[in-house]
Amino acid sequence: MLTESGNLMKFGLHMPLKGGFAPNIKRAAALGCRTLQIFPGNPTAWRLPDPQPEEFAKRRRLLAEHRIDPLIIHAAYLVNMSSANELFLERSCRLMQETMERAALLGAPFVVMHVGNHGGRGFDTGMELFITTLAREMQNWPSGVSLLLENTAGGGSSLGGSFASLGHILGALGPAAPVGICLDTAHAWAAGYDFASVEGIRASMEELFDAVKMDRIGVIHANNINSPRGKHRDRHMHLREGLIPPEAFATLLSYPWPEDLPVILETPEIGSHWDEINLEALRSFARMGAAQRGGEDGKS
């Protein structure tokens, strides 16, 4: 029996840095968010601010009070676990260690990280380095926190654009590794996956599930996009305003995803009136998806 994914998913957004933690949590809860994603610090800095145990305890209480669960941490953009530069690789490992520890302190079960790039040394070499680095580093991470590898827009020396590459990494790390996948719809489109129609997204999802078991997908980033498919340009758009049509989002949301799967908006102008518009769009796509599947179930 399939779960009614449209109702059991948890919707939320990437919380802006400005405005302060508490006001942002209250605002998100008032918009109906059940989950949130945050940066643990400046996303373009190599270090996190020092931990503040009392402040973190307060934040955890606030999240619980507003029934926002899970909290998701997005790692800094600088992190590249397959960097050809030894210093950058070392810094990346240190920052990921800090980020995983920070997630544990905040009670966040997921840390999202972009798959790295090989810096000109070739796909296979980069992939090998990425896997050996992760396999070594994850030994030191706190328990209870999983790393989610986010698919990238691909192109150039980027490693994580194809679903097959994500599957390869998970396979190499083995089933016990605390590592899963974060699917970003805009990145998939930029990497060349056809989300322009129901048929297109079905074929893309087939490819995804061939590479990655559904229960390894921990978070979806629901973003629309304005740049042409397969051009590796990552320009996020409001859900109803980009090149991915509502029916494609509806189909995506209609899969029997794991219960309580967090779906996060990283749409433009987060923190503005757009949040309400995009959350409403997401809910309406989920209802469309549930209706699509209801129709299919009725037929079979």
Residues interacting with Zn ion, by CB under 5 A? 150, 184, 221, 266
Smallest distance, Zn ion to C-beta of residue 74, A: 6
DSSP letter, residue 158 = B
Q: Name, in order, each residue with C-beta under 8 angstroms of 66's C-beta and a sequence gap of 6 or more.
A: 25, 26, 28, 29
Smallest distance, Zn ion to C-beta of residue 58, A: 27
Smallest distance, Zn ion to C-beta of residue 77, A: 8
Smallest distance, Zn ion to C-beta of residue 150, A: 5
Residue 129 vs 219, nearer CB to Zn ion: 219
Cβ atoms 112, 77 nearer than 8 A: no
Tokens 């994580």 found at: 160
- Print the SS3 string covering 239-274: CCCCCCCHHHHHHHHCCCCCCCCEEEECCCCCCCCH
Chain-centroid distance of CA 144 in Å reads 18
Radius of gyration of the chain, Cα coordinates, nearest whole angstrom: 18
Beta-strand pair 110-114/71-74: parallel
Task: Retrieve residue 249's tokens.
Answer: 């989002």
State the Cα–Cα distance between residues 5 and 98, nearest whole angstrom.
34
∠ CA(11), CA(277), CA(29), 5° rounding? 45
Q: Name, in order, each residue with C-beta under 8 angstroms of 164's C-beta and a sequence gap of 6 or more.
A: 207, 211
Smallest distance, Zn ion to C-beta of residue 54, A: 30
Residue 165 vs 293, nearer CB to Zn ion: 165
Residue 74 vs 293, nearer CB to Zn ion: 74
Nearest to 208 by CA among 197, 196, 195: 195
Residue 201 vs 220, nearer CB to Zn ion: 220
Strand, coil or helix: 42: coil
Residue 98 vs 184, nearer CB to Zn ion: 184
Residue 184 vs 275, nearer CB to Zn ion: 184
CA distances 286 to 8, 248, 251, 255, Å, are 10, 11, 8, 10
State the Cα–Cα distance between residues 240 and 222, nearest whole angstrom.
11
Residue 150 vs 275, nearer CB to Zn ion: 150
State the Cα–Cα distance between residues 74 and 67, nearest whole angstrom.
20
Smallest distance, Zn ion to C-beta of residue 164, A: 19
Smallest distance, Zn ion to C-beta of residue 266, A: 5
Residue 223 vs 254, nearer CB to Zn ion: 223
Smallest distance, Zn ion to C-beta of residue 181, A: 12
